[in-house]
A = this chain, B = another copy of it.
Amino acid sequence: MTDFAVWSRAIQARMETALAACLPDATLAPQRLHAAMRYVTLGGGKRVRPMLAFAAGEAVNADMDRVEAAACAVELIHVYSLTHDDLPCMDDDDLRRGKPTCHVEYDEATALLVGDALQSLAFEVLAEGGGSAGMLRQLARAAGSRGMCGGQAVDLASTGQSLDLAELEFMHIHKTGALIQAAVLLGALADDALADDARHRLERYARCIGLAFQVMDDVLDAETDTATLGKTAGKDAAQGKATYLTLMSAKEARAYADELTSEALAQLEPFGARGQRLAEIARFIVERRY
């Protein structure tokens, strides 16, 4: 089995090609919109969600073309949410993945339409790539008001408020957790015969690593400089947003992330060697530097 670093670069390269192919060409009308959609989607991003989809697909031996369509769909939803999240009426951020954000490079109206069109494209790509109605429903639910969008609404409402751990986790389970869980589940649901027990174990795995990811995001946001991060560092704290570090020390946060990772790894036991990539991603999440 190849090294995780080699595997993850291969997934990143595969995703760059796959996303470039599913995005409309920038020579196609309306050109400015299509150029902006490519600008926000291509040439960057850790592609953590696609890695999860591919790793989950490997764990259950799913059809990898179908997994690729699911990975593209989830990543398109993720990129749309970043584009809208950066808008002046939301987080008002200028920098993303080391580049000017969409509304800075283009304009606000274009950034709004880019996000809207990327969301539509996610469902189109999944439907065209052999996604079942069940997979489409899963993605829609994860993206919507009882998933990612709902988490962003809670995030907005809680700015300047002090949250307890339960409230903070409710927000994260929706804001970032829902889509991370969708990435894992869609990769696994690419196998039509996915067993209930496997499904539930993957759901628990995803829930744990989703939270660990967010805990580490807060730690890295506080400890890392803007250049390394590729986005504005220390912003959440400056905006009075609740983070794990307003509730615990960085050391405690790292220990909590480790605990969540152990719980995630425990879910993978029945998958044996086929669960290896999912295990590596769980470890990567707590060990990453940006």
Contact = CB atoms under 8 A, between A and B. Distances in A.
B153 A141 contact: no
B145 A136 contact: no
A131 B133 contact: yes
Nearest to A77: B120
A84 B87 CA distance: 13
Contacts of A107: 89
B112 A124 contact: no
A140 interface: yes
A119 B117 contact: no
A121 to B, nearest CB: 5
A278 B157 CA distance: 45
Contacts of A115: 116
A28, A80, A108, A157, most chain B CB atoms within 10 A: A157
Interface stretch (A29-37, A93-101, A212-220, A280-288): A29-37
A150 B116 contact: no
A229 to B, nearest CB: 24
Interface residues of A, number: 54
A197 interface: no
A87 B90 CA distance: 13
B140 A123 contact: yes
B149 A120 contact: yes
A141, A144, A145, most chain B CB atoms within 10 A: A145
A127 interface: yes
B89 A145 contact: no
Given A133-B132, A145-B37, A30 B121 contact: no
A145 to B, nearest CB: 4
A143 B120 CA distance: 6
